[in-house]
Amino acid sequence: MKKLKGHHTITHHLTDFHYLSPLTHTEPDDAYSISYIAIALRIHPFLWCIERIDPRWMETATKVNGAAKPKTSDKIPVAAHPLAEDPTDIASNIKYHAQYSPHFSPVKFEPEQAYYAAAESVRDRLIQQWNETYLHYHKVDPKQTYYLSMEFLQGRALTNAIGNLDIQDAYSIAINKLGHELEEITEQEKDMALGNGGLGRLASCFLDSMATLNLPAWGYGLRYRYGLFKQRISKAGQEEMAEDWLEKFSPWEVVRHDVVFPVRFFGHVEVLPTGSRKWVGGEVLQALAYDIPIPGYKTKNTNSLRLWEAKASAQDFNLFQFNDGQYQSAAELHARAEQICAVLYPGDATEEGKLLRLKQQFFLCSASLQDIISRFKERKDGTGVREWSEFPTKVAVQLNDTHPTLAIPELMRLLMDEEGLGWDEAWDVTSKTIAYTNHTVLPEALEKWSQVVMSKLLPRHMEIIEEIDRRFIATIKSTRPDLENKISDIRILDHNPNKPVVRMANLCVVSGHTVNGVAQLHSDILKDELFADYVSIWPTKFQNKTNGITPRRWLKFCSPELSLTITKWLKTDKWVTNLDLLVGLREFADNPELQAEWDSAKMANKQRLVQYIKRVTGESIDPNSLFDIQVKRIHEYKRQLLNILGAVYRYKKLKEMSPEERKTTTPRTIMIGGKAFATYTNAKRIVKLVNDVGAVVNTDPEVNEYLKVVFVPNYNVSVAEVLIPGSELSQHISTAGMEASGTSNMKFALNGCLIIGTLDGANVEIREEVGEDNFFLFGATADQVPKLRKDREDGLFKPDPRFEEAKQFIRSKAFGSYDYEPLLDSLEGNSGYGRGDYFLVGHDFPTYIDTQAKVDEAYKDRKRWIKMSILSTAGSGKFSSDRTISQYAKEIWNIEECPVP
């Protein structure tokens, strides 16, 4: 078989497509087995005749299509060069994929076809490194971290991959040789619809850092077909449509047909003669693995993001019912399987919605843990025999917020019911393996699941949770009698007779070996307030790990002009993996030459943003105006309402000025973007208000030279990569004590954008690092908030006249006839949280307006503003995800670097 004609190409595609895990065919002879060749030929039916193809075939096809002129790309030969570094060889490999990985008509090589072919050629190199990484981890058998998250907001992969592989210039030249521009084809890529906001983007930054630091670590998530939603803005406000990222296919994912695990729902628990318990019956779906490569920056290590898709087997399709005309019944289990990975965060206003969310969470946890256990077994000299006491020395599982909490009872079930461990041994393994990151103090995000629903869907897990709760209470009574009066608050099960629930955050804290917050202020609130009683029990369990962002995607790749300027002045590009080196910019902050180059780089980014806004909204904005941007999930606590109220007040004052007075003001373009959850009514009203204000302001000839208000639709990672580099002022204005950390504030600061914000989340540490003089601070502090809320409830609050003026201007119908009374009522005493102006918009409004006036004055002094911008970037070194992940690795996971040789 080794002498088969074209066998090199077949072998290349066995490696390329890799439908089986790397360990499936590690020996050379295996790769030539009939079955693997059959797979390769089924994928690429032209392989048998590669060496016989007449080169004039493409020329003939081109002429048929009406293009007679020879192209420069015609001189590039078609050849497989999976590891090419020379631009001509890369171009050949791209042409190879266009011709022999055919997804489109053969006569086309337009930007879309060029993108897919280029992506597949990059994937060739990634898969080579991927396989080497996988096999190296298998051989060395290091302790490995598994990061479980319901969200991974990856963004586009092509630019990031060629950047991390350090082949961006070569690909740019190669694409140019084929008649396209790299920037043109990267625009064809759709963002992976696997996340929503900061939680998912943080997870993706962490994956980048794990690979860059050569750490053995994988991510686990779900393969959502339709994502959260694609946002469209109409006169009615926000409209939701299904994401279409998989409408064709993703060139980055590789299905692993040999990695499939059963996941059970419903059923009942049987007690076996031995006294052990077994979960049986119900419905069983299959979890099929899809892998996405995660390359490190200038390193061979390429880790995995493993996504699970829910499937039903062919045996679950009832052919008799189908032929009898009972079409829906025949494929009922298949339909239920598709629901699990259809949408991120399906609406949970109904019992069916709640059940589906819980199904999603368990599906992720069960499939991932079965996979982890399987890998733990197979890495022991190929024998599969290991002591279970070794498990925590080889496996670290990190729960990204409360969504994957069911990993705790599921690991217990697998160890006891499937592996035969007793409770104490299983609990010792579980509690030494699981760690929990808390991302919020918002009650609705801490998750409480109905005990009735849990018992119905996961009866064995409910038994295990009940036993964990019972043993925890017994421990408290025997060791901490002083806490007996608080047991009802700190136990896992809330037995409220009207609504008995499982408190998922409590389960995480009781069961995990480490609990961490994501900014110093947030961690302090967790220890001092939310989890104070647990801290008194386990004082060493709680840590802080301030979030970070990857400098690669969020500066190096998205802001090339600024990156080159930084490298020039620091005389090194090592800041890309050692962000602390940015502090070296401080000594040049007053240098006129640096300031001129900095200003030029920022203007280049602003010009790109101007073009983008024109293309997606039709609005023309002035690049010389102050670009003021707030982009994040739309939520009342993030206070986009405060922002737009400030814009309304600014507009009203501009209208009252004379033409001469207006000329003395600072022109400003306010941009707001983000998605409001489909069932979050007040958030959607905020989106509507922003658009209504913009419609009036932007068409007002008296004012639109000095103020524009733009809502940026369908905010995602790719949009952020344009907005953030082009920003000059960014608003991070949440009610103090409510934002766990924030990471967009870090991205803005890193790109030389100044922040106006409250002392909330990571703002506290950003202000410390960039300097108080380079941060526009306003608003109440976290320790003041409880009293201010109480005063508001007691009627002691006296609103600032400017606050009343802004609200009344909206009520006057100046921005249309839409009824904004329910939204404005939330500021008066009818908040959805049951307490008027719970987020203290009214209290913080006057200091917000005063601080915005200081921003206006600072922007007029260009030298001062540019210096502040430089110092913002210079002070951002702490906020690298490399630093965060290094701390996780050393202080929580106890894992070490495992570089591929």
Given the residues 13, 448, 602, 747, the one annotated as active site: 747
Amino acid at residue number 387: E
Q: Are 231 and 713 in contact (CB under 8 A)?
A: yes
Q: Is 56 a catalytic residue?
A: no
8 A C-beta contact, residue 211 and residue 302? yes
For residue 380, indicate whether it is catalytic.
no
Backbone angles phi, psi at 352, to 5 degrees: -65, -40
Q: Is residue 632 flagged as an active site residue?
A: yes
Catalytic residue among 413, 439, 602, 606: 439
Other C-beta atoms closer than 10 Å to the C-beta of 887 total 17
- What is the distance, to the nearest Å, from the Cα of residue 66 to the centroid of all Cα atoms in its chain? 45
Q: Which residues pair with 730 in a beta bridge?
A: 629, 755
Contacting residues for 61 by C-beta, under 8 A, at least 6 apart: 106, 107
Kind plus residue range of the DSSP H or E element containing 134? helix 111-140
Annotated active-site residue in 311, 522, 556, 633: 633
Measured between alpha carbons, how far is 108 from 20 in angstroms, rounded to an integer? 31
Classify 279 as helix, strand or coil: strand
Helices (H), 311-458: 319-323, 327-330, 332-340, 351-378, 391-394, 407-413, 423-433, 451-457
Residue 494 in tokens: 């809330």
Residues in the chain: 901
User: Is residue 543 within 8 Å of 523, Cβ to Cβ?
Assistant: yes
Which residue in 745, 740, 228 sits closest to 445, CA to CA?
740
Q: What is the DSSP string of 9-68?
A: HHHHHHHHH--S-GGGG-SGGGGGSHHHHHHHHHH-TTGGGGGG--THHHHHHHHHTT--
Asked if residues 630 and 672 have their Cβ atoms less than 8 Å apart, the reply is: yes
Question: Which residue is catalytic, options 357, 379, 491, 638?
Answer: 638
46: tokens are 């032209």
CB atoms within 10 A of CB 797: 16
| The dihedral sign for the CA sequence 261, 265, 267, 272 | positive
278 is a catalytic site residue: no
C-alpha distances out from residue 488 to 485, 499, 503, 506, Å: 7, 14, 11, 12
Tokens 């490696």 correspond to 15
Per-residue b/e over 718-735, b at no fewer than 16 CB within 10 Å? bbbbbbbbbbbbbbbbbb
Strands 277-280, 268-271: pairing kind = antiparallel
Determine the Cα–Cα distance for residues 403 and 158; give it in Å rounded to an integer: 29
- Residue type (1 letter), 717: V
Per annotation, catalytic residue among 632, 708, 789, 843: 632
Please enumerate in sequence order all residues whose Cβ is within 8 A of that of 408, keeping only pairs 6 or more positions apart, or say none: 430, 434, 468, 507, 508, 511, 512
Using a 10 angstrom Cβ sphere, with 0-12 exposed, 13-18 middle and 19 or more buried, the burial of residue 478 is: exposed
User: Rounded CA gap, 157 and 208, in Å?
Assistant: 11
Total Cβ atoms within 10 A of residue 45? 10
Write down the catalytic residue from 669, 743, 851, 884. Answer: 743
> Taking Cα atoms as reference points, which of 766, 746, 763 lies closest to residue 639?
763
Instruction: Give the SS3 label for residue 834.
Output: coil
Q: What is the DSSP string of 158-213?
A: HHHHHHHTT-HHHHHHHHHHTT--HHHHHTTPPPP-S--SHHHHHHHHHHHHHHHT
**Helix (H) or strand (E) segment spanning residue 146:** strand 144-148
743 is catalytic: yes
Cβ atoms of 305 and 256 within 8 Å: the answer is no
Q: Which of 805, 796, 802 minimizes the C-alpha distance to 829? A: 796
Question: Is 638 assigned a catalytic role?
Answer: yes
Catalytic residues: 439, 632-633, 638, 743, 747
